[in-house]
Structure 1
């Protein structure tokens, strides 16, 4: 299994692809505590103005806050705005 991963890493590097994207990792981009962009997620499990739970690849992502709002989403990414107090990761 390790050899296969090494091969995939080598292929991604030779094509100039970032390793996080080639592995399908979830990418979080923060702008202070008021906005987070989430890339490579699978589904929205729970959504309210104080709590979100999102299924990512190997874990679930939870976001606690106030006035949380999904500004936009599509099959690849979403943007959440509001007062973000905490973000946590739970194993599936």
Structure 2
């Protein structure tokens, strides 16, 4: 499995294709501590005003904060808004 992953990474570099597309990785973008955009997710596990847990291909993303809301909900991306305090990626 690791050999296949390395081969895909090499192919992505050679073809100048982003690795997140080839390896089915999430793309996580933060704007300060006010917004967090998660692309290429597999769904929402938990949502409260203080915690958002998002299922990823490998593991989950856990966001802790205050006044957290889900903005732009689409099949491929989630926008978490509020005051983000901690972002943790659990594999």
Moved over 4 A (4+): none
Q: Which residue of 2 is the match for residue 26 of structure 1?
A: 26
Q: How far off its partner does 1:70 sit?
A: 0.6
Query: Structure 1 regions of 5+ residues with no counterpart?
Result: none
Task: Tell me how many residue pairs correspond in the alignment.
Answer: 91
Q: Which has the higher strand share?
A: 1
Give the structure-2-normalised TM-score: 0.86
Query: Structure 2 regions of 5+ residues with no counterpart?
Result: none
Instruction: Please give the alpha-carbon distance, in whole angstroms, between the structure 2 residues aligned to 1:79 and 1:86.
Output: 15
Q: 1:59 and 2:87 equivalent? A: no
CA root-mean-square deviation: 1.6
Give the structure-1-normalised TM-score: 0.86
